[in-house]
Amino acid sequence: MTASVYLHKGREKSLLRHHPWIFASAVNQVKGKPHKGDTVEVLDAQGKWVGRGAWSPDSTIRIRIWTFNETEVIDNAFFLRRLEDAIAARRGFESITNSCRLVAAENDRLPGITIDRYDNVLVCQLLSAGADRHRDKIVWALEKLLPGLSVLERSDVAIREKEGLPPLTQVLHGDVPETITISENGMQFTVDVRTGHKTGFYLDQRSNRLRIAAHAQGRSVLNCFSYTGSMAVACLKSGAAHVTNLDASESALAMAAEHIELNALDPADCENIVADVFSQLRAYRAANRRFDMIVLDPPKFVENKHHLNQACRGYKDINLLAMQLLAPSGILATFSCSGLMPEDLFHKVVADAALDANRQVQFMEKLSQDSDHPVLSTYPEGWYLKGLICRVT
C-alpha cells in the first residue's frame, strides 16, 4: 500500500507553485511505512492531494516530487515520457557538438537524475533516493530511446551521503572506454568519463568558451582552475598570444597539454603550472607579473547557506588578486558555479573587489550555463552558473 504524507498547515504553498522539494520540517504525519526511495502521496493539512514524490528519510529534502498530476503513475512509461521529452529538447546540438547534457535533474522534471552524453556513451548521476530506486527503469528507457549507446553510472559525489546512499561507479549497459574524444565548435577534447570532474567535462561552459575566447586575440591569458584546458584551446584558436593554465591537478594539466597537440596548436604557446591558485596569484603579485586577460572558474565555494559569507570572502579575494594582476584595459572573465550564490550578490562581490583593488571595472557581458542546462521556471535553484566578462582599467 502506498504511504501518504500529510504536511503542516500552509506548507503546501510551494507545491502549489510546482516547486519540486518538500523539506523535513514541512512533514506533519506519515501514514504507512515508506522505505527509502518509495513513491508516496503528498497531501495538505486538510487531506487534499497535492503531489506524488520519492521518500528520502535521511535527507533534509524529505520528498522530491515526481508529478503534480494525480493520474500519472511512476512506472516505466513515466520515465520513458520524461526522458523522451528531455532528449527532444536538446535536438539541434548535433551541428556543433557530439556531447551535451541530456537530462538536467529537477529542471527536466526528473529530480536527482543527471545524464550527459559523450558521443556514444551516456554518463548518469543518480543522486537522490528516488532516482536510485528507479535505476532499472531509467536504463530501460534509455535503451529504448537511444539504442546502441553505452551507459555509465557516476554516482560518486558527496551529495549521495545526504540521501543515505553509498557512492557508486558502474557500467549499467554496453562497453565504456577509459576516455572518449568529443568535438565542440571545431575543437577536440579527450574526456575521462570514469574519474574526471563532474561527469568528465564542463559541458555547461560550452558557449562561454567562445564568448571569452572572442576577447583573447593577441593577449597573454592566465586560465585559473583550468582543469583540462578547454578554455586555453578556445583562446589559442582565437589568436591568444600565450596561455598559462593554472590548476592543482597534475593529471588534469597533463591532459591539457594533450589537448594542445590534439588541436594542432603550438605547445610553446601554452604553459601548465601545477599550484594552488590562491597562492600562485599572490606569488605573481609579489613578482609584479602582469597578464592581459584572466579567467577565474573556481569550484563551488558554497555548500550550504551557512557558508555564504565565507564564500563571499573567497570570491572577493580571488577577484581582487586577479584585478591586481591585470594590465591596463585587461579582461577578467569570472564565474561562480554555486547555486546558493545569488547573481546580484556575486556582482556586488566583484564590484567590491574592484574598489579594494583600486581599479575601474566595467561589466561587459553576463554569462550563464549553456542552453542544454535549462532552468525550470518553478525551480530557480537550477540557475547555478553566474559569470561576468569585465574590462579592468
How far from chain centre, in Å, is Cα 391?
26
Q: What does the pLDDT read at residue 308?
A: 85
Q: What does the pLDDT read at residue 304?
A: 73
> Beta-carbon neighbour count of residue 200 at 10 Å?
25
Q: If you ran DSSP here, which 8-state letter would residue 90 be given? A: T
Q: What does the pLDDT read at residue 206?
A: 98
Q: Calculate the alpha carbon distances from 372 to 88, 152, 202, 252, 320 in Å.
A: 11, 20, 12, 25, 32
Task: Say whether 161 sits in a helix, a strand or coil.
Answer: helix
Average pLDDT of the residues in 296-301:
90
Q: What does the pLDDT read at residue 124?
A: 98
Indicate if 337 belongs to the active site.
yes
Domain ranges of the chain: 4-67, 76-173, 202-392
Residues 6+ apart with CB under 8 A from 155: 124, 125, 126, 127, 132, 165, 167, 168, 169
Angle between helices 230-237 and 206-213 (to 10 degrees): 40
The percent of residues above 90 in pLDDT, for the chain, comes to 94
Helix (H) or strand (E) holding 282: helix 277-286
Q: What does the pLDDT read at residue 39?
A: 98
pLDDT over 80 at 307, yes or no: no
> Beta-carbon neighbour count of residue 205 at 10 Å?
24
Q: Which of 100, 235, 337, 390 is an active site residue? A: 337
Q: Name residue, grid cell 558557449.
A: 207
**Separation CA 15–CA 71 (nearest Å):** 17
Average pLDDT of the residues in 197-218:
97
**How does strand 220-224 pair with strand 242-247?**
parallel
Average pLDDT of the residues in 226-245:
98
Write the CATH number of the domain with boundaries 76-173: 3.30.750.80
**Mean model confidence pLDDT for the chain:** 96
Fold equal for 4-67 and 76-173:
no
For the stretch 124-163, pLDDT in tens is 999 999 999 999 999 999 999 999 999 999 999 999 999 9
Q: What does the pLDDT read at residue 373?
A: 97
**Residue 305: band (very low, low, confident or very high) from pLDDT cuts 50, 70, 90:** confident
Average pLDDT of the residues in 363-374:
97
**Residue 311: band (very low, low, confident or very high) from pLDDT cuts 50, 70, 90:** confident
pLDDT over 90 at 249, yes or no: yes
**Residue 196: band (very low, low, confident or very high) from pLDDT cuts 50, 70, 90:** very high
Planar angle of CA 365, 270, 334, nearest 5 degrees: 25
| Selection from 221, 219, 187 nearest residue 201 by Cα | 187
C-alpha cell at 14: 510551494
**Separation CA 256–CA 238 (nearest Å):** 17
**Residue 388: band (very low, low, confident or very high) from pLDDT cuts 50, 70, 90:** very high
**Separation CA 317–CA 181 (nearest Å):** 36
Average pLDDT of the residues in 28-40:
97
**Residue 300: band (very low, low, confident or very high) from pLDDT cuts 50, 70, 90:** confident
| Selection from 182, 31, 222 nearest residue 101 by Cα | 182
Residues 6+ apart with CB under 8 A from 333: 208, 212, 215, 293, 294, 295, 296, 297, 367, 387, 388, 389, 390
**Separation CA 314–CA 120 (nearest Å):** 39
**Residue 301: band (very low, low, confident or very high) from pLDDT cuts 50, 70, 90:** confident
**How does strand 113-118 pair with strand 121-126?**
antiparallel
Name the β-bridge partners of 61: 23
Q: What does the pLDDT read at residue 257?
A: 98
Write the CATH number of the domain with boundaries 4-67: 2.30.130.10
Domain formed by 202-392, architecture: 3-Layer(aba) Sandwich (3.40)
Residues 6+ apart with CB under 8 A from 136: none
